[in-house]
Amino acid sequence: MGLMKGFLENVADEMGESDITQPRVVDEAERRLAIEKRRDRRLVTAKCRGTDTFVAPDGT
C-alpha cells in the first residue's frame, strides 16, 4: 500500500488537491496507471517482435 499511497499523493499534489481520497484524484490515478499498463504491454510486444525502437502513439 505504501507505493500506491505515494503515487496517489503525487497525483494529488499535481492536481492541487490535499486529500488523496477525493474521487477526482483516484480517477486520475487509475487513468494514469491504465496508460502505463498499455504502454508496458506495447513495449513487451515490440520487444517480442524484435523491434529495437518503440514509440508509443502519444509520442513517448
pLDDT digits (tens, 9 = 90+) for 1-55: 466 888 899 999 999 999 999 999 999 999 999 988 888 777 777 667 666 565 6
- Region of 19 (left: φ > 0; alpha: ψ -120 to 50; beta: rest) is beta
* Residue 43 confidence (pLDDT): 72
Of residues 27, 28, 54, the one with CA closest to residue 41: 54
* Residue 38 confidence (pLDDT): 84
* Residue 53 confidence (pLDDT): 60
Distance CA 7, CA 20 (A): 10
